[in-house]
Structure 1
Amino acid sequence: MLNQFKTLFIMSVIVMIGPTLSCAFGANCWQPSISFFYDETIEDFAVGFGLQNEKMEFEISGTIDFNDPASGISYTQYNIGLISGLRHHLAKDVTGSFGFLGNIGFYDSFYNAGQNGKDNDPLTLGPYLGLGYQPTEHISIFVRIMPVSYERTSSNQIGIEVFQEGLMGMKYLF
């Protein structure tokens, strides 16, 4: 489990540093951000760190859920999300976007999670359509909806959902 987080952390640093350095050399500048949003794919609030410019957006997000059910067998679930998409200005302060969104969950103790009916790591993947409103230079309000999504639940049920998943929240741009 720890190795997965180390790998993810290193990948995140590379994804964030590359575009930031390209701005220093005159390329299309990337703007870092932190976002807070409700994510229906994990049915929880999440925190994300991202980069965006006039044409593209990338974000990595996460949550930690501490579960202490009545069975007395506790476990922790870690959810990690990735967003990668293209942006297009629709009006002065309004931006449309589309791209790919994915979330995966991990358990600190797969045995304990299994004792509570969690047989599999939850996973949601699919395209998204987004709309953002940026009333100031540093604040953006956004919504993203997945027209179609593949979902594998923690109880190992697999399904294709239509307009069932999405997220909405607020982003602070540095």
Structure 2
Amino acid sequence: FCSLKKKKKNSVWYNVASSAVSASESPEEPKKSLISLWPEWSDIEVNAEKWDAAKASRDSKLFDDPEGKVELPASLRVHTWKRPSECILNKTPVVVENEAVFDLTSANEHLLSSELMRWVISELYILWKVCNTGEEKAISTEIVPSLWKPWEHIYSLCKAVKDHMPLYNAYGKYVIKLYWMVSSG
């Protein structure tokens, strides 16, 4: 499972009531959800992060988010939460297996019943295609200055530097760089 990192000092978190996610997922019974807006991104905090079990409780050698499990859209009913090591038994899991191919649909077919997840997967795939076209097809170098790699927004056992490669963390702690895109009006 995934966790977002919070700032330790002077952090301001806002809870915004929103029915956008739930309303699109279950039209007969819209449910109000709370959306946490995260603090501004800080490479310094990521570089200072302790990735191992040093922060774990004495009873556990795995990371458990103090905020609890992430609330998912209503259309994605969770049967059970499992870590990658519980599903992939014959080899060590990897974050990025093949840098040349980007296929989010075949491994995530179980998520495609959710309108929200279809939208997220589509947006990531569109970004990949637009930013990784051949030079002859590129829209503009001003718009697409270099190749965009989604795994460069995942941090684990690495520093926040250009062209980093996140590694599988058996402890289970990852930091994901997300963007909140809103329009006023």
Tell me if both proteins adopt one fold, taking TM over 0.5 as the criterion.
no
TM-score by length of 1: 0.20
Task: Give the structure with the higher percent helix.
Answer: 2
TM-score by length of 2: 0.19
Larger Rg: 2
Higher relative contact order (CA 8 A, sep 6+): 2
